[in-house]
């Protein structure tokens, strides 16, 4: 009987030891969780890289838009300066700006008007150059 109790005790102990050692090994749930974590980390890295690329592209586009806004603002300021000058027929003068270069075209009544329009355009902030293509009537 004592031997039977010892065998039972040893058997229960062995089952207990096997059970504990089995807990140290990852099961399907732990393996799946680890795989999900690794996949999520990789996806997070890819999202971060993509966000950086998009940010760089948006910055470059923002620079282009900034130039376009500056050119439109310059055009508006030149037109306002020309319109404010008495004697210049503003309906006959066209203003176009590309990267700070203002092009004046159209018709004016005299050489003085021709020169005055170019001078007014040159005085506007942001104007790098004036291409005066105004023709005298």
Asked if 41 and 89 count as a contact pair (C-beta separation under 8 A), the reply is no
| pLDDT at position 64 | 62
The predicted pLDDT at position 95 comes to 93
Mean pLDDT score, 125-131: 92
Residues across the chain: 137
Q: How far apart are CA 49 and CA 82, in angstroms?
A: 50
Pairing type for strands 129-136 and 93-98 reads unpaired
CATH no. for 38-136: 3.30.1340.30
CA–CA gap between residue 74 and residue 21 (Å, rounded): 78
Does pLDDT of 109 surpass 80? yes
Residue whose C-alpha is closest to residue 129's, from 96, 104, 100: 100
Q: What is the pLDDT of residues 16-40, one digit of tens each?
A: 555 555 555 556 666 766 777 777 6
pLDDT at residue 19, as a whole number: 57
User: What value does the mean pLDDT of the chain take?
Assistant: 76
Distances (CA, A) of 34 to 20, 22, 37: 21, 18, 5
DSSP state string for 35-87:
HHHHHHHHHHHHHHHHHHHHHHHHHHHHHHHHHHHHHHHHHHHHHHHHHHSTT
Q: Considering only 60-69, 96-105, 112-121, which range has the smallest mean pLDDT?
A: 60-69
């Amino acid at each position: 009987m004592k031997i039977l109790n010892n065998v039972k005790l040893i058997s229960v102990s062995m089952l207990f030891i096997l059970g504990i050692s089995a807990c140290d090994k990852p099961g399907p749930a732990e393996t799946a969780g680890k795989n999900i974590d690794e996949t999520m980390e990789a996806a997070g890295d890819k999202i971060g890289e993509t966000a950086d690329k998009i940010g760089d592209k948006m910055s470059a586009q923002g620079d282009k838009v900034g130039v376009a806004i500056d050119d439109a603002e310059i055009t508006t300021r030149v037109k306002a300066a020309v319109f404010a000058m008495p004697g210049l027929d503003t309906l006959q003068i066209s203003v176009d700006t590309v990267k700070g270069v203002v092009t004046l075209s159209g018709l004016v009544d005299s050489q003085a008007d021709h020169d005055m329009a170019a001078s007014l355009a040159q005085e506007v902030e942001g104007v790098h150059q004036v291409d005066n293509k105004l023709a005298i009537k």
